[in-house]
Amino acid sequence: MCAKNVEKDNRQEAITYESLLQGNKEWVAATLNEDPTFFDRLAAGQTPPVLWIGCSDSRVPANQITNTLPGDIFVHRNIANVVTHTDMNLLSVLDYSVNVLKVKHVIVCGHYGCGGVNAALGDKQVGLIDNWLRNIKDVYRIHDRELDTIKDQTRKFDRLVELNAIEGAANIMSTSIVQNAWAAGQELSVHAWVYSLKTGLISDMKVSASSAADISPVYKMKANK
């Protein structure tokens, strides 16, 4: 085992129930030393300009990879950053973010090397999660002509990650929540991003919408009067 792997294993073995609580105390002390009013401001309320819909993967923490602070990003995470119109958890988060917090940006961010997307590429049963991953298989079916032409499996994997984020953003755009906000003149944009674990960099998929004019006509709905 190489030295880097040993160091990583030792660090993770040192993380215990007690060490998490101690780490919290140390973080609070360091934060107050730098900014004595930090927690007073947090306790006063939140007005994050961004809703982040990302993967539950422990290696993709929204605040760290965007160099933002607590209170800057409202976060929803699930396995493989899946967005469906039947997920009441996600829709509740979206509704609260758009209609109460008045976020200006909704970002669906996938990541290369996503275990959920990789599992969806295969045919082995994993468990209950197979039903969740079916949504990613649907993304493959929609884009099968493109994906089937990609012979390199790594590139195919990466492309499905990208398409999953793109389709997720498209699903956000087509919700009544977002369309009603646009109809009311609310400033709101939806984007698709992908994060690289290897480089730490985020790639903008160049798929964004800031009005109903940017989405497919079949998904457009008349606003309630």
Please compute, for residue 81, the number of CA atoms within 13 A of its CA located in the half-sphere on the CB side: 37
Quick check: 213 and 220 in contact, CB under 8 A?
no
Annotation marks residue 109 as catalytic: no
Q: Among 55, 76, 109, 158, which one carries the catalytic annotation?
A: 55
Annotation marks residue 2 as catalytic: no
Annotation marks residue 57 as catalytic: yes
Q: Among 105, 111, 158, 191, which one carries the catalytic annotation?
A: 111
Q: Among 76, 105, 109, 114, which one carries the catalytic annotation?
A: 114
Annotation marks residue 59 as catalytic: yes
Q: Among 9, 35, 41, 59, which one carries the catalytic annotation?
A: 59
Catalytic residue positions, numbered: 55, 57, 59, 111, 114
